[in-house]
Chains A and B, each alone.
Chain A
Amino acid sequence: MDRYLLIVSTICYLAAVVHTAGELRVGVFRPMRFNFFAVGLGFVFQTAFLSLRGHALGRCPLTNLFEVFVFLAWSVSLMYMLVGPLYRLSLMGAFTAPLVVLLQSFALIAPIDVRHSVNIPANPWVEFHASISTVAYGAFALACIAGVMYLVQERQLKTHQLHSIFYHLPPLTDLFATVTRLLWWGLGLYTLGIVSGFFTGRPLPRVQVVAALGVWLLYATILQGRHLRWLAPKWVAALCIVGFSVALALLWGITFTAEMRPPP
């Protein structure tokens, strides 16, 4: 039953993607109500899915790679809902939807929804650590999306080739400010996630600690480079995309190795 909710949610996001693609194909782009409605409805179904799954498990639904991907997609949408209207970035929805479709489609198609045979007792610190870290990934994902938007806008300004989408994207300096804010949000939440990991009362696998610290260092370096003016805005935007790709790969790796280990 819960998988059907996820399928409906994915269809909602897909509708937003198709709608946007159709408009771009004819050289028109208008971030209209349809996109807001589709993304909002998709978010409602995502939340319903996670809620049902959480009740069934009796804990935060982050017990396997499937749930991690769905929770990540939900975090991206949540961050968009918080950041989009606040910074008047309505177009971000058009860029957010494809990423959510990608994450949820992969989760639905790949055989990764493996239930643990042993019922692991809930640990509030583990759940806090896992959920806050995934929300931090959501912020990094949105920074990556804002980075893509920055690069699209920057490219058009450099080449003097302005397409329909140019007039709907926020000003370059506003986009850069958003990238920076999202990086700070992401790093803050991720720090909280890492620190809370040490309070779980369980031995931490070395691979996971190294990977988590690697991601933290990567984003801290990007922010340091931005504030000390070592990195031009274009490179910060590009590194946000690289950073999220690396973080996503490591997240997959961390979850995969965790699943391989026998539960304590």
Chain B
Amino acid sequence: MNLFCIGLSHHTADVATREQFAGGATTESILCQTSCAEALLLTTCNRVEVYAVSDTRISTDEIARCLMRKIDGDPHNYAPPFYRYEADKCVQHLFRVASGLDSMVVGESEIFGQAKRAYELARQSGAAGPYLHRLFQRAFRVAKQVRTHTDIARGTVSVGSVAVDLAQRIFGKLSECKVLVLGAGETSERTARALISRGVSDLRVSNRSIDRACQLAQTVGGRAIPFDEWAAQCSEIDILLTSTASETPLLTRAKLAPMLRERLDRPLFIIDIAVPRDVDPSVNEMEGVYLYDIDSLRSVAEQSLALRRQQVAAAEAIIAEHVADFLDSISRGLNRPSQMADHPSPGETSLRTSEL
């Protein structure tokens, strides 16, 4: 039996090339057009991959022809961006993909769900047999283990989600937090929506144009505050999100100091995504105030990404261990469970049950 993976991803092909192959085939069509015994098609915006098992060797060109969308295209032109992994390399590649190590944003978890859906489709159609079943079940276990035992998925890597994540790091549950959105632009709306999705229920919107404030407040389920009253809100609110077009800082130390005296025991988190900035940077030096502007949010996102990259070695070690064990179990026969599969950690038991 030959176990192999043929595909292309953001590492080997640009989006124009990838879109030539995405959606051009189904698992069933690959099984019909080739002599694969088992096949599974994994298609995402960043990759198109076929995992298959066959008795005889199947060429990369043959798979490329199946995947290609344009009938008049020449598959040989597309062969270079395709990669091919066989046996242990194939197992290792799938484990890396499922764990998010091969993703554009290292550690992202979306690929895990996409791989599960691809497996489910192949299982329902009967295209995934005992080999692929076992391979993918193990891949899901490995991915879970990598996420649990390393910091590969820690932190957020987009500026918008960093702000919301930091709010949770300061306040815990956001359901009791009072939020003031200053400026009713698109970015404010997006971040306000993200805060509401994490449980915020008291959201106030203030804008120079009260009509626009009312409109945004209605859209996100908050209430509008007249622009000349926003500063007084600072003694009540927990999170201030500013994004106005003001040329000069709207909030300074002198303005904030009297309001802070009334709220000394509660932190104030200020997210200033305006350029030029709405809040004087020296406000961050005040007791209990945590000010993040667009650059500091970006810096936190980069730190999270760097932290994830640091974890790659630890994740690779877990994967290597599982690859060896998986190959060993395969060589001993499909029906004989491996040592690692026999003794899953307590946290994994429920996962395995739900997966099977």
* B residues less than 8 Å from A27 (CB atoms): 307, 310
CA distance A163 to B151 in the complex (A): 11
CA distance A132 to B315 in the complex (A): 48
Q: A161 near B: Cβ within 8 Å?
A: yes
Chain B 74-109 interface 0/1 with A at a Cβ cutoff of 8 Å (1 = within): 000000000000000000000000000000000000
* A residues less than 8 Å from B149 (CB atoms): 30, 32
Partner of B284, one of A26, A158, A226: A158
Partner of B172, one of A162, A163, A173, A230: A173
Q: B199 near A: Cβ within 8 Å?
A: no
Closest to B297 in A: A160
Q: Is the CB of B172 within 8 A of A158?
A: no
| Interface members, chain A 1-53 (any B CB < 8 Å) | 26-30, 32
Q: Is the CB of A171 within 8 A of B170?
A: yes
Q: Is the CB of A232 within 8 A of B303?
A: no
Q: A216 near B: Cβ within 8 Å?
A: no
Q: Is the CB of A167 within 8 A of B166?
A: no
CA distance A231 to B300 in the complex (A): 29
Q: Is the CB of A167 within 8 A of B290?
A: no
Also in contact, A167 and B154, with CB within 8 A (given A30-B149, A232-B287, A233-B265): yes
Also in contact, A174 and B172, with CB within 8 A (given A157-B166, A167-B155, A232-B265): yes
Chain A 157-194 interface 0/1 with B at a Cβ cutoff of 8 Å (1 = within): 11011111011001111101000000000000000000
Q: B337 near A: Cβ within 8 Å?
A: no
* A residues less than 8 Å from B267 (CB atoms): 172-173, 233
Q: Is the CB of A172 within 8 A of B170?
A: yes
What is the interface residue range for chain A against chain B? 20 to 34
Q: How far is the CB of A202 from chain B (nearest CB, A)?
A: 42
* B residues less than 8 Å from A32 (CB atoms): 149
Q: How far is the CB of B170 from chain A (nearest CB, A)?
A: 5
CA distance A255 to B149 in the complex (A): 45
Q: A261 near B: Cβ within 8 Å?
A: no
Q: A59 near B: Cβ within 8 Å?
A: no
Q: Is the CB of B170 within 8 A of A162?
A: no
Q: How far is the CB of B180 from chain A (nearest CB, A)?
A: 18
Q: Is the CB of A229 within 8 A of B264?
A: yes
Closest to B303 in A: A162
Chain A 203-245 interface 0/1 with B at a Cβ cutoff of 8 Å (1 = within): 0000000000000000000000010011111100000000000
Also in contact, A161 and B172, with CB within 8 A (given A167-B154, A232-B287): no
CA distance A167 to B157 in the complex (A): 13
Q: B215 near A: Cβ within 8 Å?
A: no
Q: Is the CB of A164 within 8 A of B290?
A: no
| Interface members, chain B 273-303 (any A CB < 8 Å) | 284, 287-288, 290, 292, 296, 299-300, 303
Q: Is the CB of A234 within 8 A of B311?
A: no
Q: Is the CB of B314 within 8 A of A28?
A: yes
Chain B 150-184 interface 0/1 with A at a Cβ cutoff of 8 Å (1 = within): 11001100000000001011111000000000000
Q: How far is the CB of A173 from chain B (nearest CB, A)?
A: 5
CA distance A158 to B290 in the complex (A): 6
Q: Is the CB of A232 within 8 A of B151?
A: no
Partner of A157, one of B168, B170, B287, B304: B170
Q: Is the CB of A164 within 8 A of B171?
A: no
Q: Is the CB of B151 within 8 A of A164?
A: yes
Also in contact, A164 and B170, with CB within 8 A (given A229-B264, A232-B288): no
Q: Is the CB of A226 within 8 A of B265?
A: yes
* A residues less than 8 Å from B310 (CB atoms): 26-28
Q: Is the CB of A172 within 8 A of B169?
A: yes
Also in contact, A173 and B170, with CB within 8 A (given A161-B303, A229-B264, A232-B265): yes
Q: Is the CB of A160 within 8 A of B155?
A: no
* A residues less than 8 Å from B287 (CB atoms): 232, 234
Q: Is the CB of A164 within 8 A of B307?
A: yes
Q: Is the CB of A28 within 8 A of B311?
A: yes
CA distance A149 to B168 in the complex (A): 17
* B residues less than 8 Å from A173 (CB atoms): 170-172, 266-267
CA distance A167 to B152 in the complex (A): 12
* Residue of A27, A163, A173, A234 contacting most chain B CB atoms (<10 Å): A173
Q: Is the CB of B292 within 8 A of A160?
A: yes
CA distance A230 to B261 in the complex (A): 9
Partner of B155, one of A29, A162, A232: A162
CA distance A30 to B284 in the complex (A): 30
* B residues less than 8 Å from A160 (CB atoms): 292, 296, 299-300
* A residues less than 8 Å from B154 (CB atoms): 164, 167
Q: Is the CB of A234 within 8 A of B155?
A: no
28 contacts between A and B (CB under 8 A): A26-B310, A27-B310, A28-B151, A28-B311, A28-B314, A29-B151, A30-B149, A30-B151, A157-B166, A157-B290, A160-B292, A160-B296, A160-B300, A162-B304, A163-B307, A167-B151, A171-B170, A171-B171, A171-B172, A172-B169, A173-B172, A174-B172, A176-B265, A230-B264, A232-B287, A232-B288, A234-B287, A234-B288
Chain A interfacial positions (CB closer than 8 Å to B): 26-30, 32, 153, 157-158, 160-164, 166-167, 170-174, 176, 226, 229-234
Please name 5 further chain A to chain B contacts, defined as beta carbons within 8 Å, in addition to the given A28-B310, A157-B166, sorted by A numbering: A29-B151, A173-B171, A176-B265, A229-B264, A231-B264
Chain B interfacial positions (CB closer than 8 Å to A): 149-151, 154-155, 166, 168-172, 264-267, 284, 287-288, 290, 292, 296, 299-300, 303-304, 307, 310-311, 314
Lowest 4 CB-CB distances: which A-B pairs, in order? A171-B172, A232-B287, A160-B296, A229-B264
